[in-house]
Structure 1
């Protein structure tokens, strides 16, 4: 399941949905939150924009790549858009698989691709209420490189 939405999500509901299949032996989840500091700057809010249709297609391709690499029984990716406040949930990735190794690897892979390849644009507002667009971090690209062999 892939969702791009402005509404918050309930981690417990998403987890419970992933563990309904009796063949599931592991569920790994990741949730990203809006934090108060990014790259040394104080942050008061975060706004996420996307390109409807293109974003969902990109997320579906990322999940498809994960499914071709690991034995995944089910996968959920939820990414929020709009203005978010400190500690708001941004993203949820949940993987259900037979074994923990596949679930951990697939979850990390999807997050590394989301941070670098998915068409989302981030604008942060600092403590002085100045807004600025956030560039991709080099560390995110380095994390992706371990999957691409670059």
Structure 2
């Protein structure tokens, strides 16, 4: 079972972990991406995310489908927050359950790397000096040109 969502709501890591919990599984691996307060010596006040929601959710589903082809996975939750994400709050939570840790650990790493490279979600950093910067993901094929 896959739980995929783009939301404006604050992400609750415990609730997302519960989405993938199952008595048949011995492992849950979780990636939580949070807003840090600095980048390249600049003080970051917040992040602002935008997404093309229909395509983003479709791409997230494709990532889940790929994961299921590569590893023995039970449940996947992939929830991304958009709009304003304050310092120390989560912008992305990916949780994967499996019988054994190896599959869930590898799947969660694949999920975040592939999401950053392929899903149409854009991040803008807002700095203390009132400047801002749209950030490219280093994983994106077009950022390597």
RMSD value over aligned CA atoms?
Answer: 1.5
1:23 aligns with 2:9: no
TM-score where L is the length of structure 2: 0.90
Deviation above 4 Å: which 4+ runs of structure 1? Answer: none
Structure 2 counterparts to residues 6-17 of structure 1, below 5 A: 6-17=8-19
Paired positions, count:
139
Give the whole-Å Cα distance in 2 for the aligned partners of 1:70 and 1:84.
Answer: 32
Give the whole-Å Cα distance in 1 for the aligned partners of 2:42 and 2:62.
Answer: 33
Deviates more, 1:40-49 or 1:83-92: 40-49
Give the whole-Å Cα distance in 2 for the aligned partners of 1:24 and 1:61.
Answer: 23
Residue 113 of structure 2 is matched in structure 1 by: 112
Give the drift of 1:17: 2.6
Residue 65 of structure 2 is matched in structure 1 by: 64
Give the whole-Å Cα distance in 1 for the aligned partners of 2:53 and 2:14.
Answer: 27
TM-score where L is the length of structure 1: 0.87
Change (3 A) 1:71 1:136: same
Does the 8 Å CA contact 2:11/2:91 hold for their aligned counterparts?
Answer: no
Give the drift of 1:116: 1.5
